Each structure stands twice: as C-alpha cells, then as structure tokens.
Amino acid sequence: MSNTLNLETQSGDDPILLAQAQNDALMETVSEQITLDTFDPNDQQLLKRMVVEGLGDSRGLVRLRFAETLGEIGEPATPFLLEALANHPNPVVRRAAAKTLNLIADPTAVSGLLHALLNDEDIVVKGSAAGALARTGEAAVPALLDILASPQHPEDTKGQAAWALAFMGSEAAEHLYKAVNSDSVDVRCAAVGAIAHVAQEQSDERACKVLVSSLTDPTAVVRTEAAAALAQLNYPPAVPHLILALRDSDGDVRRAAVTSLGKIGDRSALEPLQTALNDELESIRRLAKLAISQIENQ
C-alpha cells in the first residue's frame, strides 16, 4: 500500500505519469526476481501485467525493455502475447506483442501470428507478425505456402509470406523443394527465391540444380526469378542453361540471364553475349555490352 501511495504522490494526478511509475516499479520487481532466480513463470497475473501494461507504456525504451525481458522469460509468456496481439485495441501493444513473439520463436504461436498477418488493420503489426513467423521456422512453412497459393490474399500479404520463407532459408528447404512443383505460379516463384537463399547459405548443390531446372518453368516470372537468383551464385554448371535463356521469348528472362552471365564471368558466355548485342530490346543490348566488359575485365 505504501508503494502505491508513493507512486501516486510522485506522479500527482497525471494518469500517464502514474502508469509510467507503476511500470517502472513492475520492471524493477521482475528484474530483481530474475536476478535472484525467484521469478515464477506460472504467475499469470504478473505475465499479463508485463504484456498489457509494460508493452503499452508510452516510452519506447521501456516497451523495449519489457519485450526483451518477456523474450528472456520465453514460452510461458506466449499465451498472453497472443491474446494481446489478437484483441488489444492499441496498435502499439499489438506491434510490441508481435515483435516479442519474434524473440521467443514459439511454434505454438503460428496460428495467432497468421491471423494477425491476414487480418490486422495495422501495417506494422502485419509486418511484425511476418517477421515472427519467419523466426518460428519450419512450423510456419505450410501455412505461408497456403497464403501464396490462395487467390484471396492481396499481393502485399503474399510478398510478406514470400519474404518469411526466404528468411528461413535452409530450415524450410524440404518444403521449398516440393513447392517448385506447385500448380501455383506465386508459390513456385516464392520457392525459387527462397531456394536461392538456401544455395547461398550452404553452397547446396541440390538448391543450385533446382534453380537451373526452373529456367525452363512454363511461366516467365518464375524463369526470371531463377535466372536472377543464379547471378548470386558461383555455379559454373548454370552457364550453358543461362546461355540458352538468352533466346527466351520473354524479355525479362533474357535481361536476367544476361546480367547473371556477366556476374558469373565464364568466358564461354562471350560469344552468345555478342549475339545478344543484336537483341530487339535496347535495354538487353546495353546489359550485354556491360556483361561482356565484366567478363573481359576479370
């Protein structure tokens, strides 16, 4: 009782100052308990206060400290963070809840994070939910692929799902290898982009071969994604296939192939690139000239 009176006295009649003082006292109590190893992760009232009051503090640094502390506490905080993410009227609290779930990376949070990604009205909450899904890893992959496959979801949501898959990289690899055979163009395109990250992470032969195979995908946007991805890899076996892509019917594919050949730097591409100097598209002719210069200067 005396502590409460002291807080009320120090903050006067200002409700914001009183709330801040109460949050400072709450953080001090929790920090002391963690230091002394007396913190009870089953204290639901305390965890709820940390989420609802601590993450709702008007001071950014204080919210950050509560988020980091909740991240340290880990999975016992997940239910309270999900409740705040789903139902709290203040978007600041929902944003902080999603960012804290990012720190915890609890697979049981996938359903709630997906709901936020698909339904929250705040763009920052959506982005933070996508980030948390990316950190959650393999448990989130099937649902992210479903988002990409569905015609009901807007392009920005699909873009966030594709980013999350790419962030996961090798952790999602087995799902991605299957996804390149999907009937959905969006799924195949996202899978190719994410597989490129797998190839970069691990110099993975299988990933490189999948990218090469995708150069013959029936849809131009997937072929373009594959050709562009190969620019980031030192994978000489891709060169003959990229040379073939210089004759692709789609200009974007040809552009990506020219750029990739220049970056890979294999001299066997010089003659085909000379031919590309006569391409009907002026932008490809410029890129071919640059690619030839890149190779000759190596």
* Whole-number average pLDDT of the chain: 93
Enter the pTM of the model.
Answer: 0.83
Mean of the pLDDT values across residues 69-97? 97
Q: Where are the alpha helices (DSSP H) in the chain?
A: 2-11, 15-35, 44-49, 60-73, 78-87, 91-104, 110-119, 123-136, 141-149, 155-168, 173-179, 185-202, 205-213, 220-230, 239-245, 251-264, 270-276, 282-297
Q: What is the CATH number of the domain that holds 219?
A: 1.25.10.10
Residue 94 inside a domain? The answer is: no
For residue 246, what are the domain limits?
215-298
Per-residue pLDDT tens for 49-66?
999 999 999 999 999 999
Contact partners, residue 38, CB within 8 Å, separation at least 6? none
CA 152 to mean position of chain CA atoms: 21
Which is it for the CA torsion 190, 191, 196, 202, positive or negative?
positive
**What interhelical angle do 123-136 and 91-104 show, nearest 10?**
10
pLDDT above 70 (res 177) = yes
Per-residue pLDDT tens for 229-288?
999 888 999 999 999 999 999 999 999 999 999 999 999 999 999 999 999 999 999 999
Residue 27 inside a domain? The answer is: no
Q: Cα–Cα distance between 193 and 205 in angstroms, integer?
A: 16
- Write down the pLDDT at residue 1: 45
153 pLDDT band, cuts 50/70/90, is very high
| Coil/strand/helix, residue 233 | coil
Residue 86 inside a domain? The answer is: no
201 or 167: which carries more pLDDT confidence?
167
Residue 239 inside a domain? The answer is: yes
Q: Cα–Cα distance between 143 and 38 in angstroms, integer?
A: 39
On whether the CB atoms of residues 50 and 70 are closer than 8 A, the answer is yes
Residue 257 inside a domain? The answer is: yes
On whether the CB atoms of residues 183 and 165 are closer than 8 A, the answer is no
Q: Cα–Cα distance between 176 and 270 in angstroms, integer?
A: 33
- Write down the pLDDT at residue 298: 80
Structural domain total, the chain: 1
- Write down the pLDDT at residue 85: 98
Contact partners, residue 146, CB within 8 Å, separation at least 6? none
The pair of three-digit structure tokens given for residue 106, joined into one six-digit string: 């609890």
DSSP string, 14-75: -HHHHHHHHHHHHHHHHHHHHHTT---TT-HHHHHHIIIIITT-S-HHHHHHHHHHHHHH-G
Residue of 112, 107, 135 lying closest to 125 (CA atoms): 112
